Chains A and B, each alone.
Chain A
């Protein structure tokens, strides 16, 4: 064992003391934020003015302000759990990948997507779908224009596109003429995270992504993205604006957030079992194409826990077009809580889609073994980098570790 646990032990004790010492300050900040949330609960106009001001500051100062803006629901309201519909279809997808590794026997990446269709109230076995895994190995797949290995972000974008493609393909098959709702659900945020890509590639991927979101909307399916234990601070950023005089909103005040030790879920601990927060819209740079397609991200926080004492909060993101249909939001709200209560406070379908998608270390080894055999068959000697080879040697035998 090389990790000196005895050296860490006193640091762990210091960490515990530090966590304890921050509690009082956190409670104080939480109280301030809650007071602001109540004070500005229906002050939509005053808040929107401040959001506009923050957006102007970021344009002038090349500073990215990310935050929430109110919709038409009181910010401090806790919206009760609506009655669940008897029959509803929920489709979820999730993806997994083997990232390209310059130390592996060859450059490749692999994307695997799993999905499940769960028809509540049908008495039918849920249907699982595993599209063919995609192995990418051509130079154009694994290298960028400068010949560098493509980034993790690029592979993640391709995986996200594959996940949404599955939903866009499946949803129309389950739309029924009687209007029974179909919810499509993704793990993670609704908009495509393209920040690691070149500008041209960002535009290209976003276009493809929004096209699929539009297909889903046009098919009649509801769309939502689910983020468990989010660390987002969108509402906190909004409350920071509320705490400032509009003229005091500038780069300096935006850069210094006095509530930075907290996250939004610290505010929404007041949500009771099954309750959701007000709906907010997400304000961030690069959302124009989503807004134009009525797919701009809106969100609410949801307490899926059945327990009064232990709230378990998730952020649920929905596209703008859905926000105007309050009955559909109620359906989504009720169904997500129903799903989460099936499987330990997390939507059952997302847990199963993850299980179907995940590539285990053993499966990865099997893929690499197949690749090595094929390379040998083609007269190519497969070999790891010296670094990886030594890593494998030194970590493979527990008994030789000091």
Chain B
């Protein structure tokens, strides 16, 4: 598996998802819809998930600064880069890899606190999105902005494909969605329209 670098650590987790804490100074804080991975030892399992929420936590000191109304640029830099104010990412688990086999489904165990999170690079994304079974997990996820998440994820995944294959990739994703949402054509149309915009 090839990934970029650690962007945060697990704060709490369950089989279906987990929360990740990371500092704002991380140059590559994951975006909404990014595919991320966690390596679990000693089980040698790689979990895959999609970031569905990025939250900057409240901080009484920041509230105070806002109330004073005179915020110098140096204060903003100090608050953003020196202080330990965490960003919390919420991740929806969509698959795992064990013994070299990639499964688009829920893993046997969740990650543990302080497991490191890494952003998947283009090669990981291409490999994971060879199948679109994970879209079913996403569509069934409660309390997640599913449609927007699917759009953001497919947009990012399309960019990971060679340019000549992006259209074909999105057509394949669209067909998978059509099968899953054949009873909700309005919703399907909304997603396809947004994906089509990327494909063009």
**Chain A interfacial positions (CB closer than 8 Å to B):** 116, 118-120, 122-126, 128, 341-344, 348, 351-352, 355
In whole angstroms, how far apart are the Cα atoms of A263 and B64 in the complex? 28
Candidates B65, B67, B82; contact of A125 at CB < 8 Å = B82
When the two chains form their complex, are residues B68 and A120 in contact, meaning their CB atoms are under 8 A apart?
no
Chain A residues lying within 8 Å of B73, measured Cβ to Cβ, are 123
* B83 surroundings in chain A (CB, below 8 A): 355
Question: Which residues from B are CB-within-8-Å of A118?
Answer: 74, 78
Residues of B near A125 (CB, < 8 A) are 74, 77-78, 81-82
For B71, the chain A residues whose CB sits under 8 A away are 342
Cβ-defined partner of A120 (8 Å) among B61, B65, B67, B74: B74
CB atoms of A343 and B77 under 8 A apart: no
Write out the residue numbers on chain A whose beta carbons fall within 8 Å of the beta carbon of B70.
341-342
A372 CA / B7 CA spacing, docked (Å)? 33
Contacting residues, chain A, for B67 (C-beta < 8 A):
344
A124 to B68, CA, bound (A): 21
Map CB proximity to A onto B68-95 as digits: 1 under 8 Å, 0 otherwise: 1011111101100111000000000000
What is the CA–CA distance of A344 and B64 in the complex, to the nearest angstrom? 6
Interface 1/0s, chain B 103-132, versus A by CB < 8 A?
000000000000000000000000000000
Bound complex: CA A37 to CA B74 (Å): 41
Shortest A185–chain B CB gap in Å is 15
Bound Cα distance A342, B71 (Å): 6
| A397: min CB distance to chain B, Å | 25
User: Which of B71, B74, B81 neighbours the largest number of chain A CB atoms within 10 Å of its CB?
Assistant: B74
Sampled A-B contacts (8; CB under 8 Å): A125-B77, A125-B78, A126-B77, A341-B68, A342-B68, A342-B70, A344-B65, A348-B75
Contacts of B68 in A (CB 8 A): 341-344
CB pair A126 B65 closer than 8 Å: no
**Complexed CA–CA distance, A344 and B81 (Å):** 21
Q: Which residues of B contact A (CB under 8 A)?
A: 61, 64-65, 67-68, 70-75, 77-78, 81-83
Closest CB in chain A relative to B84 CB, distance in Å: 9
A181 to chain B, nearest CB (A): 16
Chain A residue with the shortest CB-CB distance to B77? A125
Please name all residues of chain B whose beta carbon is closer than 8 Å to the beta carbon of A122 when the two chains form the complex.
74
Bound form: Cα–Cα A118–B75 in Å = 9
**Out of A126, A128, A341, A343, which one reaches B74, CB within 8 Å?**
A126
For A348, the closest partner residue in chain B by CB is B75
A359 CB to nearest chain B CB (Å): 15
Given contacts A120-B74, A126-B77, A352-B82, 5 further A-B contacts (CB under 8 A): A125-B74, A125-B78, A126-B82, A342-B75, A351-B61
Residue of A whose beta carbon sits closest to that of B78: A126
Q: Which residues of chain B are within 8 angstroms of A348 by Cβ–Cβ distance?
A: 75
Taking CB as reference atom, which chain A residue is nearest B73?
A123
Q: Measured between alpha carbons, how far is A62 from B21 in the docked complex, in Å? A: 61
- B64 neighbours in A (Cβ, 8 Å): 343-344
Q: For residue A355, which residues in chain B have a CB less than 8 angstroms away from its CB? A: 61, 83
Query: With A342-B68, A343-B64, A344-B64 in contact, do A124 and B82 touch (Cβ < 8 Å)?
Result: no
Cα of A119 to Cα of B78 in the assembled complex, Å: 11
Complex CA–CA separation, A123 to B64 (angstroms): 21
In the complex, which of the residues B73, B78, B83 has the most CB atoms of chain A within 10 Å of its own CB atom? B78
Residues of B within 8 A of A341 (CB): 68, 70
Cβ–Cβ contact A352 & B65, under 8 A: no
Closest B residue by C-beta to A119? B74
